[in-house]
Amino acid sequence: MVSPLAYIHPEAQIGDNVSIGPFCYIDKNVVIGDNNELMNSVTILSGARIGTGNIFFPGAVISAIPQDLKFRGEETTVELGDNNKIRENVTINRGTAAKGRTVVGSGNLLMEGVHIAHDDIVGNGCIIGNCTKLAGEVNVDDNAILSACVLVHQFCRIGSYTMVGGGTRTSQSIMPYSICAREPATYCGLNIVGLRRRGFEREVINTIHEAYRIIFQGGLTLADAVATIRRELPPTPEISYILQFIEDTKQRGFIR
C-alpha cells in the first residue's frame, strides 16, 4: 500500500490499510490513522494528527508551519477527524501559541485550493468551495457551506447551516441558518432550502425566521432585539444557539 517512491520518516506512526502514493512526504511527529488514502504528491508535516478514512488528493499540504510572524517554532498541531475529502492543493497550517492547534472535524469536503490558516476550527459536515481562504483563528460551525473564492478575515465565525455566496469577502461573523452574499457582504435571508434539505421541520424554520425578522428587520437595537426574542419566542435549541452566537461575536460583530 506504500509506493517505493514515497518518503516516510521512521518515527511517523502509520495505521492499518493506509495507501500512500508516489512522491508523498511524511515527516516525523506525524500520526495517521487507519484506512486513509494519500494520492501522489501529498505532504504531511510535523504535528499532523489524522483520523481514519480520509482521502488526500495530489498537492495537499497538511501541518505546514503558520504564516504568522508571531510564530516562534512552538510545538503545535493540526488535528483532522474522519472521512474528510481533501482535494488538490489544499493547505492546512498548524496552530500557534494562541490556541496550539488547528482543527478540522469529520465528514468535510475541502475543495481545490482551500486554505485553512493557523488556529482555525472547522466543524463537521462542512463544504468549503474552490480557492476559499480562511485567515487565522476563524471558526466554521457544523454543516456550513462556503462557495468558491470566499475570503474570511481573522477571528470571524461562520454559523451552522449557513450558505455563503461565491466571491464573498467578510470581516465580520455570519449568522447561522442564513444566506450571506453580495459586495459588500449582506444578510440575504434565511437559508430555507438548505434547512429543508437537512430535515428541519416547518415550525422550527418559522421560529428561526421570526427571530431573524426581529434582528434584521425590526428596526431595533441589537440589545432590544435580543430582549424581544427572549420574551416572545420559545427557547428552542436553535434560538438558544442564535442568542449565544450573538453574545460570542460581540467584539467583531456580524453581517447585518
* Alpha helix stretches (DSSP H) within the chain: 192-197, 202-217, 222-232, 237-248
Half-sphere exposure of 253 (CA within 13 A, CB side): 8
Taking each helix axis from N to C terminus, what angle separates 237-248 and 222-232, rounded to the nearest 10 degrees? 160
Q: Is 189 a catalytic residue?
A: no
Q: What is the dihedral of CA 135, 138, 142, 146, to 10 degrees?
A: -30
Active-site residue (options: 68, 82, 119, 141): 119
**Measured distance CA(54)–CA(81) in Å, rounded:** 8
- Candidate list 33, 47, 136, 159, residue with the active-site label: 136
Active site residue 136: yes
* Bridge partners, residue 58, by sequence: none
Cis (ω within 30 of 0) for the bond into 184?
yes
125 is catalytic: no
Return the number of other C-beta atoms located less than 10 Å from residue 73's C-beta.
6
Catalytic residue among 68, 118, 120, 123: 118
Catalytic residues: 118-119, 136
